[in-house]
Amino acid sequence: MQKTRFHIAKMDCPSEERLIRMRLEAVSGIHYLEFDIALREMTVYHDTDSAALLAALAPLDFDSRIIGNDTADTLPPQAAHKAEEERQERSLLYQVLAVNFVFFLIECGAGWLAGSMGLVADSLDMLADSFVYLLALLAVGAGALAKKRVALAAGLFQAALALAGIVETVRRFIGWETLPDFRLMIIVALLALCANAWCLHILNRSRSQESHIRASMIFTSNDIIINLGVMAAGVLTWLTASRYPDLLVGSVVFILVCAGAWRIMKLAKG
């Protein structure tokens, strides 16, 4: 049995880990996956060729490379508890999925009420995470074709929403829209930040036996950065009496959501 270590430069939160797991589940000969999000590393215990693993990761565009390859006689101790950990994690995934989808609805509604494209874009980011967790749950017991169809449908829907958001943002850039409600922007983005922090906490707790848990909690997720960006846009809107901070943040987030949709759709091609 081989033990191969990968450096994955663009793996920085549980969502990317989920995509990697789903990508590798189609590769035969894998016995166990171990992740260290802080170091952006993954260790694979396997019998298959290391080059096949690298080729399977390539479509995700996470900038993956092999940094070590050794032989291993046994799996790590935590592998023995894998089944129980997966059962507990599945339960927590339902909770995380529910929180993300509820906040997608809250932020999307509040975004239109406040006239804030930053909030609307942030809501689509929550929806993107919901899709990733849904795909992770469907991966249990589902056939390969069914999973690919769900991935394709989720990616297309997410991309369509993001493109519609970009079109609306451009329209507001060249139009004469009123200022967004900065108070509602800040309050809702703060609530979303708390929700994301809680989700990250329980996901880390679900893998409490693995070495990367403490590092994962320290590492700030992209979602929290986006929440802070929307809050900053709200403050700048208040201070400058300009709609442009909100539109700039919204544009950046919509582009990130489009990139995430493209990654999900790539799962359907693998």
In this structure, are 178 and 76 located in the same domain?
no
Q: Are 216 and 204 in contact (CB under 8 A)?
A: yes
In this structure, are 236 and 105 located in the same domain?
yes
Q: Are 8 and 64 in contact (CB under 8 A)?
A: yes
> Could you say which of 45, 80, 115 is where a domain stops?
80
**Which two structure tokens, joined as six digits, stand for 93?**
């995934």
Q: What is the CATH number of the domain that holds 48?
A: 3.30.70.100
pLDDT, residue 107, reads 92
Q: Is 174 exposed, middle or buried (0-12, 13-18, 19+ CB in 10 A)?
A: exposed
In this structure, are 169 and 235 located in the same domain?
yes
In this structure, are 127 and 151 located in the same domain?
yes
Q: How many domains does the chain have?
A: 2
In this structure, are 36 and 116 located in the same domain?
no
In this structure, are 74 and 115 located in the same domain?
no
Q: Are 11 and 222 in contact (CB under 8 A)?
A: no
> Could you say which of 33, 62, 80 is where a domain stops?
80
pLDDT, residue 212, reads 34
Which domain, by its residues, includes 59?
A: 2-80
> Could you say which of 58, 80, 102 is where a domain stops?
80
Nearest 10 degrees: CA dihedral of 16, 20, 21, 27? 170
Angle between helices 117-138 and 82-114 (to 10 degrees): 160
**Which two structure tokens, joined as six digits, stand for 83?**
């089944």
Q: Are 247 and 148 in contact (CB under 8 A)?
A: no
In this structure, are 116 and 64 located in the same domain?
no
In this structure, are 6 and 91 located in the same domain?
no
DSSP E strands, the chain: 2-8, 30-36, 41-46, 64-71
In this structure, are 191 and 147 located in the same domain?
yes
In this structure, are 212 and 88 located in the same domain?
yes
Sheet of strand 64-71, all strands in order from the earlier edge strand to the far edge: 30-36, 41-46, 2-8, 64-71
- Taking alpha carbons only, the member of 25, 35, 23 closest to residue 141 is 25
Angle between helices 222-240 and 182-206 (to 10 degrees): 170
In this structure, are 10 and 97 located in the same domain?
no
In this structure, are 156 and 38 located in the same domain?
no
Q: Is 206 exposed, middle or buried (0-12, 13-18, 19+ CB in 10 A)?
A: buried
CA 53 to chain centre: 21
Q: Are 192 and 122 in contact (CB under 8 A)?
A: yes
Nearest 10 degrees: CA dihedral of 100, 104, 107, 108? 170
Provide the residue-wise pLDDT of the chain in tens; the chain has 270 residues: 889 999 999 887 766 777 888 788 778 888 888 888 888 999 999 988 888 899 989 888 899 999 998 988 888 877 666 656 666 667 777 887 888 899 999 999 999 999 999 898 888 888 877 876 776 676 555 555 666 676 777 778 878 888 888 888 888 888 777 789 999 999 999 999 998 888 777 766 655 443 333 333 334 366 788 889 999 999 999 999 998 999 999 898 888 878 877 877 776 665
Buried b (16+ CB within 10 A) or exposed e, 62-75: bebeeeeeeeeeee
**Which two structure tokens, joined as six digits, stand for 199?**
């989700």
**Residue 242 CB coordination number (10 Å):** 12
